[in-house]
């Protein structure tokens, strides 16, 4: 079982930046996929970004269409920490952001694929 703790959320003006962190502990491996999802009030949980791993191509990054070019996911294997750098933030990015991890590296955009979740951190972007 993997334990995940997010941090770095807060209130920012539109156009600003935030960096979220996700510290993983427990059974963690560099081959685990790590991802970020978000959920706004009244909406379903939405895929934001993920880092997957394969024996053939190593690490690969993936992004939801709404954040491509603005958000960057990265990981520090030594610290077992994943990051989400969010730039050019928009009011529609306002949501609770959740970190996720799983040993499977398939269907990463699906909520149901991920076995471990953090408690979430609130990001609010004011206009």
Q: How many CB atoms sit inside 10 A of residue 75's CB? A: 20
Q: How far apart are CA 120 and CA 96, in angstroms?
A: 6
The pairing of beta strand 81-86 with beta strand 18-26: antiparallel
Helix (H, G, I), strand (E, B) or coil at 119: coil
Q: Which residues of 16-51 are buried (b: 16+ CB within 10 A; e: fewer)?
A: eebebbbbbeeebeeebbbbbbbeeeeeebbbbbbb
Q: pLDDT tens digits for 49-86?
A: 999 887 778 889 999 999 999 999 999 988 989 999 99
Name beta bridge partners: 69: none
pLDDT over 90 at 28, yes or no:
no
Q: Are 51 and 108 in contact (CB under 8 A)?
A: no
Percent of the chain with pLDDT over 90: 78
Q: How many CB atoms sit inside 10 A of residue 122's CB? A: 12
Q: pLDDT tens digits for 89-103?
A: 999 999 999 999 998
Q: How far apart are CA 95 and CA 120, in angstroms?
A: 10
Q: What are phi and psi of 52, to 5 degrees?
A: -110, 170
Q: How far apart are CA 52 and CA 35, in angstroms?
A: 8
Q: How confident is the model at residue 27 (pLDDT cuts 50, 70, 90)?
A: confident
């Amino acid at each position: 079982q993997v334990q995940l703790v997010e941090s770095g959320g807060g209130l920012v003006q539109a156009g600003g930046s935030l960096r979220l962190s996700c510290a993983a502990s427990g059974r963690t491996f560099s081959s685990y996929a790590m991802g970020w999802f978000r959920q706004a009030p009244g909406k379903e949980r939405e895929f934001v970004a993920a880092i997957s791993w394969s024996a053939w191509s190593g690490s690969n990054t993936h992004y939801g269409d709404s954040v491509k070019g603005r958000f960057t996911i990265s990981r520090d294997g030594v610290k077992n920490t994943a990051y989400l750098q969010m730039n050019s933030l928009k009011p529609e990015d306002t949501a609770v952001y959740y970190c996720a991890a799983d040993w499977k590296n398939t269907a990463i955009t699906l909520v149901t694929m991920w076995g471990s979740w953090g408690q979430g951190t609130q990001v609010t972007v004011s206009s």
